[in-house]
């Protein structure tokens, strides 16, 4: 265990810039970072010239909220103490949790759940019999 969680902006070697609540952990001989609800931040300009920020999930095709990054994948990291930025991020996390909590969880009551091989076999039987 290293230090407590902190908010940070991370610039990855891929060029991506993300903001997240970060926890650093020592694992064997390397340091890894646990990122909670990582988000990308875009600057938005209104017609009146006012700038604002838009937060979006870092990875849009997953419902996971915790990610592991190796320190070797990070170009630079800056701990944030900007109250406005942290407040905006916390609001984003609350909205994300509300949306995620309102989505129904998949269960067997909704229908048959199969693995790929079983489903393929069943569909091939149906196709061959028709």
- For the segment 31-73, what is each residue's pLDDT rounded down to a tens digit? 889 999 999 988 888 888 878 888 999 998 888 889 999 998 9
pTM above the 0.75 mark?
no
Domain 6-129 sits in CATH at 2.30.30.100
Among residues 22, 79, 88, the alpha carbon closest in space to that of 52 is found at 88
């Amino acid at each position: 265990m290293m230090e407590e969680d902190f908010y940070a902006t991370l610039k990855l070697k891929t060029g991506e810039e993300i903001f997240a609540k970060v926890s650093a952990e020592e694992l064997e001989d390397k340091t890894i970072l646990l990122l909670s609800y990582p988000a990308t931040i875009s600057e938005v300009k209104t017609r009146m010239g006012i700038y604002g920020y838009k937060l979006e999930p870092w990875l849009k095709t997953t419902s996971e909220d915790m990610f592991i990054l190796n320190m070797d994948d990070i170009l630079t990291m800056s701990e944030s103490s900007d109250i406005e930025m942290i407040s905006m991020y916390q609001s984003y996390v609350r909205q994300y949790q509300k949306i995620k909590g309102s989505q129904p969880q998949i269960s067997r009551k909704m229908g048959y759940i199969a693995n790929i091989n079983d489903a393929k076999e069943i569909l091939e039987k149906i196709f061959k019999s028709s």
